[in-house]
């Protein structure tokens, strides 16, 4: 079983790395596709910069690290971070009570994953978040999700995004689209503003159907679905002009996005409270935001 588990960790991290490469290549391609005459079309097309990071103590409680790929100040992408990580260690006494199987593993855990947030130049192009991960304690499971953040909702985009995710879930017996959609709506809700962060998507956690290969195939398809639908939505709106008022509203929506991530997002708060690399943990924050 240990050997099988090691092989699964390797398969998962290989996939996360491969997905990262495909996403980065696709986004760099999109950077070259901005029609002339649009704002920022005179900027050079930008590429990702990669930077490896390590957790403080390889041997012990906070081992492992990751690679952050960032594209900044692009013509299409104002700021995108794609982080892959493979970390291991020991949860604190307090935290292990909150994580399935962590008491039984004496707090020992392993986690591998990919996470991505894209903030776009154009207020007409939606921002997005996507994340998938594999966690191992005495149990092991997958989690993840993706949610779309348009500045002004475009019903066709919302419908197409949800339809793509529904088709992905429906193709896998381990996945439950209605539950994952509802979970996403619940999770990405800015309670103090009494409003949703975006137009939803899917969110899932603790996925362990008993068929690891089937679960992993679903997680891979979530990544492939993202790689299919999000670039399509970007390309759909890439060439649209926008006004200063559109931009002002985009910056205000980004303020709400920052509020959600700093006040509520479990990954962000966990990362900050446990001494994670703040630049990696906070890569999700918008490049520019307003609270007018």
Residues that bind a second copy (CB under 8 A): 72, 79, 191-193, 251, 255, 258-259, 262-263, 269, 272-273, 275-276, 278, 281-282, 285-292
> Which residue(s) pair with 257 in the sheet?
none
Q: For a second copy, give the closer residue by CB, 216 or 257.
A: 257
Nearest to 237, CA basis, from 126, 134, 160, 158: 126
Buried b (16+ CB within 10 A) or exposed e, 57-72: eeeeebbbbbbbbbbe
Q: For a second copy, give the closer residue by CB, 207 or 281.
A: 281
Decide if 237 is catalytic. Answer: no
* Dihedral of the alpha carbons of 65, 24, 235, 246, in degrees to the nearest 10: 40
Instruction: Give the span between the Cα atoms of 198 and 153, in whole angstroms.
Output: 8
Q: Minimum distance from CB of 258 to a second copy (Å)?
A: 6
Q: For a second copy, give the closer residue by CB, 179 or 193.
A: 193
Q: For a second copy, give the closer residue by CB, 214 or 287.
A: 287
> Which residue(s) pair with 129 in the sheet?
117, 147
Among candidate residues 40, 88, 119, 129, the one labeled active-site is 129
The sheet with strand 49-54 has its strands ordered as 49-54, 62-72, 77-90, 108-120, 127-136, 140-149, 201-207
Q: Minimum distance from CB of 49 to a second copy (Å)?
A: 13
Q: Minimum distance from CB of 32 to a second copy (Å)?
A: 23
Instruction: Give the span between the Cα atoms of 44 and 73, in whole angstroms.
Output: 9
Q: Minimum distance from CB of 117 to a second copy (Å)?
A: 11
Residues annotated as catalytic are: 129
């Amino acid at each position: 079983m240990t050997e099988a588990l090691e092989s699964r960790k390797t398969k998962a991290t290989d996939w996360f790395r491969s997905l990262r490469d495909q996403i980065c290549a696709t986004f760099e391609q999109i950077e070259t596709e901005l029609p002339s005459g649009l704002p920022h079309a005179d900027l050079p097309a930008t590429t990702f910069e990669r930077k490896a990071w390590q957790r403080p103590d390889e041997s012990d409680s906070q081992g492992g690290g990751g690679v952050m790929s960032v594209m900044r100040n692009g013509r299409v992408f104002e700021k995108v971070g794609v982080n892959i990580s493979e970390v291991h260690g020991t949860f604190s006494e307090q935290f292990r009570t909150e994580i399935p199987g962590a008491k039984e593993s004496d707090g020992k855990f392993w986690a591998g994953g990919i996470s991505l947030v894209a903030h776009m130049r154009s207020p007409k192009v939606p921002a997005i978040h996507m994340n998938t991960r594999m966690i191992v304690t005495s149990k092991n499971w997958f989690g993840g999700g993706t949610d779309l953040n348009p500045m002004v909702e475009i019903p066709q985009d919302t419908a197409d995004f949800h339809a793509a995710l529904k088709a992905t879930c429906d193709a896998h017996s381990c996945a439950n689209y209605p539950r994952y959609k509802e979970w996403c709506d619940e999770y990405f809700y800015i309670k103090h503003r009494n409003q949703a962060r975006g137009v939803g998507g899917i969110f899932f956690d603790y996925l362990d159907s008993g068929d690891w290969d089937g679960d992993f195939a679903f997680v891979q398809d979530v990544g492939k679905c993202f790689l299919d639908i999000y670039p399509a939505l970007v390309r759909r709106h890439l060439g649209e002009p926008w006004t200063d008022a559109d931009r002002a509203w985009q910056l205000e929506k980004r303020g709400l996005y920052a509020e959600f991530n700093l006040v509520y997002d479990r990954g962000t708060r966990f990362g900050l409270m446990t001494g994670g690399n703040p630049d990696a943990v906070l890569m999700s924050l918008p490049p520019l935001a307003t609270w007018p």
